């Protein structure tokens, strides 16, 4: 008694595997997108911290009043990265509003609630 059986998968088995992969992708992809947006927001917050520290260091070294407002070229040597320009927001590439010494720098995307929308998710 010989049974001739060829190796392979049935259509039902393949459909089950595809359905499981689709279900896992449906669960995982939104989490990856949210993690990316959160990391971009955190990078922007870190850039703001670096710009504020450069602004404070510039004011101390140059003996500026608290109402003084440095330009981007004034802060470039204090950014901690030799020869680099001012950082941009990774969420949209927009620059930062530097402002006076006593005022914290502001991200343009924050005023349009792009960061708030990411943090609220």
pTM equals 0.70
CB 66 within 8 A of CB 104: no
What is the structure's pLDDT at 7?
A: 74
Which H, E and C letters describe the chain, residue by residue?
A: CCCCCCCCCCHHHHHHHHHHHHHHHHHHHHHHHHHHHHHHHHHHHHHHHHHHHHHHHHHHHHCCCCCCCCCHHHHHHHCCCCCCCCCCCCCCCCCEECCCCCCCCEEHHHHCCHHHHHHHC
Q: What is the pLDDT of residues 46-84, one digit of tens each?
A: 988 988 999 999 999 989 888 898 988 888 888 876 557
Q: What integer best gives the mean pLDDT of the chain? A: 83
d(CA 117, CA 121): 7
């Amino acid at each position: 008694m010989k049974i001739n059986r060829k190796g392979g998968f049935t259509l039902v088995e393949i459909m089950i595997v595809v359905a499981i992969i689709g279900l896992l992708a449906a669960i995982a992809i939104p989490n990856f997108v949210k993690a990316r947006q959160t990391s971009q927001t955190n990078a922007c917050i870190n850039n703001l911290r670096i710009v504020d520290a450069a602004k404070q260091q510039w004011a101390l070294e140059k003996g500026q009043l608290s109402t003084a407002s440095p330009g981007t070229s004034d802060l470039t040597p204090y950014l901690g990265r030799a020869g680099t320009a001012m950082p941009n927001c990774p969420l949209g590439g927009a620059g930062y509003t530097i402002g006076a010494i006593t005022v914290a720098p502001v991200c343009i995307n924050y005023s349009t609630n792009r960061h708030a929308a990411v943090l609220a998710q």
